Amino acid sequence: QVQLVESGGGLVQAGGSLRLSCAASGRTFSSYVMGWFRQAPGKEREFVAAISRSGGGINYADSVKGRFTISRDNAKNTMYLQMTSLNPEDTAVYYCAVTTHYGVGRSRPREYDYWGPGTQVPVSS
pLDDT tens-digit series, residues 47-91:
999 999 999 999 999 999 999 999 999 989 999 999 999 999 999
Distances (CA, A) of 48 to 12, 56, 76, 92, 97: 18, 17, 22, 11, 11
- pLDDT for residue 102 is more than 90: no
The dihedral sign for the CA sequence 69, 117, 16, 41: positive
Q: Please list, residue by residue across 19-52, b when 16 or more beta carbons sit within 10 angstroms of its beta carbon and e when fewer do.
A: ebbbbbeeeebeebbbbbbbeeeeeebebbbbbb
The C-alpha atoms of residue 100 and residue 17 are separated, in whole angstroms, by 30
Work out the mean pLDDT of the chain and round it to a whole number. Answer: 95
- pLDDT for residue 26 is more than 90: no
